[in-house]
Each structure stands twice: as structure tokens, then as C-alpha cells.
Amino acid sequence: MTSRDAILQRIRIHQAGRPAVPAPPVPEVWPREAPDKEVLAKRFVEELKAIFGEPVRCRSMAEAQQQLAGLMESAPWPVVGALDGPLVREAAAALPPERIQWVGPDWTPERIAQLPAGLIAADVLLADTGSCMIACGATHERLMCYLPPACVVVGRVAQLAEHLPAAWTTIAGRCRQEALRGEFVLVTGPSRTADIEKILILGVHGPKRLVALLVE
């Protein structure tokens, strides 16, 4: 038995003779006002605009498809790389097959970085900061949040949460699924940094452009 084991054993023996102490209540650091989804959507749009993001509200998935096609033409992006999933499949359904490339585990970072834009789905949208939470279970999914110079995130109004604590139930539910691994990436606007002269530069450490298609 090591010294550590001996100390822990003495602690357990001592604790065993004492009554259990109830856990203190979890403090509510950020109160939940639970506003309706329209209030959350307006807050999300305002916050994302304030950090140089480009929120686009879409009344339907058909409108989101049109907005995506318009973005590709105006940018212009000859192709868009996409992470496979139901929401992304819906948003990209109107694109010609040759305009979309489905990024998989066999893609190298160099190949992902050559994409002009990435199309990914949000798992949670945080209204108070204009942030998109993306569940990344594999390396290529995480790199899609960082490497393409433009990032298009698709999310639904129903996925909006007031703030991070209000989203804990959704996050915890996903984390309890043993088959899922990885991490959540928080995307809050395009990448930005400033040097000692306080000059703001976009796109140094990640996408220079972030577009959020917010679908009703």
C-alpha cells in the first residue's frame, strides 16, 4: 500500500462514521427569463452582427436553399465543402452535385483548407452571444470549423437557447450517449485578433467570414 492509498483509506474510514452532508444547491449564475423564440432570434441576430457575423433569417428551408445558392454565386464559391447530416442535406438539396463536396474522415487538413467555404450544422444556438455550438465527433468535423476561409452554419430557431446554462440539458443529453465522442466547438463570429496597435484583423486564426442561416 502506498502512502497515498493509506491516506485515502483513513479518510474513508473517518467519513464512514459521519452522517452524509447534502450537496449545496447549484447557484443560478445566469437567471433564466425564458423569453419566446422570436425574442431569442432577434437577440441572436443583433449579437452576431455586432461581432461582424452575417446572420440571415430564413422563413423556410426552401428560402435557406436559395440564400445558400445566392451566397455561392456572389462570393463566388465554385464549390462548398459540407459535413454530412440531416440539416446540411436539407440546406444543400438544391445545389448541383458538382457544387458540393462531402468532407469525410479521409480528408487531410491541407485538403480541407483548400475549400473556399464550409457548410456545417449547429447543434445549439446561443442568443446572448450570437454563438453557434457545433458537436464535433471527429477531427475532420472540428477542422471544418477552422480551416475554410468562409464558414456557413445552418441552424433552426428551435435550437436557440437563452445562454449556455440554458443549453446544459441539451448538451448533457448528447454527452451521455456512449457512441458519441469528441467535443463541442463554440463559433462566435469570424476569427478576429488585434495587435498592440489595437487594429482589428479578421481571419487570422480561422474563417474570415461567418454566415449563419437561421431557419424558422
CATH class of the domain comprising 34-215? alpha beta
d(CA 89, CA 67): 15
For the chain, report the end-to-end CA distance as a whole number of angstroms: 62
**pTM for the structure as a whole:** 0.82
DSSP state, residue 120:
E
Confidence at residue 22, expressed as pLDDT on a 0 to 100 scale:
66
Q: Give 10: exposed, middle or buried? Use CB within 10 Å, 0-12, 13-18, 19+.
A: exposed
Instruction: Quote the CA–CA distance of 118 and 131 in Å, as a whole number.
Output: 17
Q: List per-residue pLDDT tens for the chain, 216 residues long.
A: 688 887 777 777 776 766 655 656 656 777 888 789 999 999 999 999 999 999 999 999 999 999 999 999 999 999 999 999 999 999 999 999 999 999 999 999 999 999 999 999 999 999 999 999 999 989 999 999 999 999 999 999 999 999 998 888 888 887 777 777 778 899 998 887 777 677 777 777 778 999 999 999
| Cα distances (angstroms) measured from residue 103 to each of 46, 49, 96, 111 | 31, 28, 16, 9
Burial class (CB in 10 A: 0-12, 13-18, 19+), 82: buried
The CA distance from 63 to 67, in Å, is 6
Instruction: Determine the pLDDT at residue 7.
Output: 79
Phi and psi angles of residue 152, each rounded to the nearest 5 degrees, phi first: -115, 120
Query: In this predicted structure, what is the pLDDT of residue 32?
Result: 81
Q: Which pLDDT score, from 0 to 100, does residue 61 have?
A: 97
What three-state secondary structure class fits 1?
coil
Question: Grid coordinates standing for 180?
Answer: 458519441
